């Protein structure tokens, strides 16, 4: 539900609220992909420490509720080894990204999961044209469904108990549907989020700034927290069909065993995210409401977050969303909203990636004002975060802006080097040289010196 939020990064699809049939999806965008491989290192895992007290609460909230608020009666997972089959119009980047993900599941989550070419499998990963996904779920770029092995079967069973997550008692067969004509990064982002939902939690929590299981969708690659949640989901002490109370009793000893460092990490215990704020945010980020309604909802979200006494990333995100909606007609005030969001994100050790998104906006203001040195100061600390979290489109955008700022300050040679270095990330993130050049032209247009020179 967020993709309009980050235009400088041309970010990709997002999780949508569960439909009445409990279908987990990502929202749509319109980019296409060349055959480009993932440029990030294979073993670039970023480890973070989390309180086991917080993780127990998060696990229960993620595992026993859907995104639409519907409670799940029992815990479900795959029992036994998990086979994965890839089929359809498979882009060149997808098999390698799938293999990377399976390796991570085995190494970090201790899952017994493997690729198969057999006709039957537990998880079917389908690469199909975007138009077929849109014909089925118009607002989705990708989605995951239980108990089907093809899109045709899903269409037949869509409004039946068979495809309802809340009706499951054990997971045996799940299908992921990804856009074969998406950008390489869109495919990977969809793969990570939908695969995680196929295996484990079906809910998203705004209070988690360090997770893919979050409706703000800042993280698009599964984090160490997400892998720990999946590792707990497949602990031998648990099994499908357990009640929430049964799982809650077993969680403390499970987490103490798999995350011993978390026993000594103080709990944060952030307040629950109120449904009114989530409703306002859904409206603000959605495409169905008018611009006036979206702006009003964003204002309400900021007001609610302040009145609730939040000082965490949710308040920062509220200001960020408001700034994006304000930017088109009140640029000066929007900049102040970005500055407020940045100040909040800087206070939290988990929101470095959030700050990187804001940095693209603040640096753009600096470049437009002819303040190249200021833009360089804003951008430089965030390039490592974009790399750390494997966000190629964000990384390329930061580098494009950095190059523009360097050129403004007379450092043309450095600017050329950075643009050259950015190419691998840009092609993976934006999907083609055409899309990359569109982004470069957008950034060039910010520079008042280029405007003066025609």
The CATH architecture to which 275-452 belongs is: Alpha Horseshoe (1.25)
Return the pLDDT at 13. 30
Show pLDDT as tens, one digit a residue, over the chain (454 residues): 223 333 333 332 333 323 334 555 444 443 344 458 899 988 766 778 999 999 999 999 999 999 888 999 999 999 999 999 999 999 999 999 999 999 999 999 999 999 999 999 999 999 999 999 999 998 788 999 999 999 999 999 999 999 999 999 999 999 999 999 999 999 999 999 999 999 999 999 999 999 999 989 899 999 999 999 999 999 999 999 999 999 999 999 999 999 999 999 999 999 999 999 999 999 999 877 899 999 999 999 999 999 999 999 999 999 999 999 999 889 999 999 999 999 999 999 999 999 999 999 999 999 999 999 999 999 999 999 999 999 999 999 999 999 999 999 999 999 999 999 999 999 999 998 899 999 999 999 999 987 755 4
What is the rounded CA–CA span in Å between residue 254 and residue 263? Answer: 11
Report the C-alpha dihedral over residues 387, 388, 394, 400, rounded to 10 degrees: -30
For residue 221, what are the CA distances in angstroms to 39, 149, 196, 218, 372?
A: 14, 25, 10, 9, 32
Query: What number of other Cβ atoms are within 10 A of residue 321's Cβ?
Result: 27
Return the pLDDT at 398. 98
pLDDT tens-digit readout, 306-316? 999 999 999 99
Return the pLDDT at 453. 56
**Domain definitions of the chain by residue range:** 3-264, 275-452
Contacts of 203 (CB under 8 A, 6+ apart): 61, 62, 63, 64, 65, 66, 67, 213
For residue 329, what are the CA distances in angstroms to 82, 291, 311, 323?
A: 51, 11, 27, 10
Contacts of 422 (CB under 8 A, 6+ apart): 395, 396, 399, 400, 403
Return the pLDDT at 217. 86
What is the rounded CA–CA span in Å between residue 370 and residue 372? Answer: 6
Q: Among residues 439, 438, 451, 441, which one has the least CA distance to residue 368?
A: 451
Domain topology for 3-264: Collagenase (Catalytic Domain) (3.40.390)
What is the rounded CA–CA span in Å between residue 333 and residue 321? Answer: 13
What is the rounded CA–CA span in Å between residue 418 and residue 229? Answer: 37
Return the pLDDT at 73. 96
């Amino acid at each position: 539900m967020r993709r309009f939020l980050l235009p400088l990064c041309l970010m990709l699809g997002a999780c949508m609220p569960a439909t009445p049939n409990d279908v987990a999806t990502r929202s749509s965008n319109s980019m296409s992909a060349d055959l480009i491989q993932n440029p990030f290192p294979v073993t670039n895992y970023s480890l973070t420490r989390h309180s086991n007290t917080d993780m127990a609460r998060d696990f229960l909230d993620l595992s026993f509720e859907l995104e639409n608020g519907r409670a799940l009666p029992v815990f479900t997972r795959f029992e036994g080894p998990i086979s994965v089959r890839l089929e359809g119009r498979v882009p060149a980047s997808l098999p390698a990204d799938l293999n990377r993900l399976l390796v991570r599941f085995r190494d970090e989550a201790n899952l017994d999961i493997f690729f198969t070419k057999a006709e039957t499998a537990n998880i079917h990963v389908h690469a199909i044209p975007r138009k077929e996904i849109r014909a089925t779920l118009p607002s989705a770029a990708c989605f995951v469904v239980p108990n089907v092995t093809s899109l045709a079967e899903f269409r037949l069973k869509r409004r039946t108990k068979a495809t309802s997550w809340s009706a499951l008692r054990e997971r045996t067969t799940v299908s992921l549907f990804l856009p074969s004509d998406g950008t390489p990064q869109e495919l990977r982002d969809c793969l990570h989020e939908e695969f995680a939902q196929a295996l484990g939690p079906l809910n998203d929590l705004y209070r988690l700034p360090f997770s893919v299981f979050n409706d703000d969708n800042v993280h698009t690659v599964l984090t160490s927290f997400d892998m720990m949640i999946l590792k707990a989901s497949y602990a031998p002490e648990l099994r499908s069909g357990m009640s929430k109370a049964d799982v809650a009793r077993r969680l403390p000893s499970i987490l103490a065993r798999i995350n011993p460092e978390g026993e000594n990490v103080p709990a944060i215990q952030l307040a629950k995210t109120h449904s009114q704020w989530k409703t306002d945010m859904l409206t603000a980020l959605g495409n169905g409401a008018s611009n006036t309604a979206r702006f009003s909802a964003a204002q309400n979200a900021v007001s609610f977050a302040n009145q609730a006494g939040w000082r965490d990333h949710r308040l920062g995100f509220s200001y960020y969303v408001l700034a994006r909606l304000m930017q088109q007609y009140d640029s000066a005030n929007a900049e102040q909203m970005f500055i407020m969001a940045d100040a909040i994100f800087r206070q939290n050790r988990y929101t470095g990636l959030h700050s990187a998104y804001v940095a693209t906006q603040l640096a753009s203001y600096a470049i437009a004002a002819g303040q190249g040195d200021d833009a360089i100061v804003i951008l430089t600390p965030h390039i490592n975060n974009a790399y750390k979290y494997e966000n190629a489109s964000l990384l390329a955008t930061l580098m494009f802006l950095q190059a523009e700022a360097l050129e403004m300050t007379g450092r043309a040679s450095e600017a050329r080097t950075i643009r050259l270095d950015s190419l691998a990330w840009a092609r993976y993130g934006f999907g083609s040289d055409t899309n990359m050049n569109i982004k470069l032209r957008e950034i060039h247009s910010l520079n008042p010196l280029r405007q003066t020179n025609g």
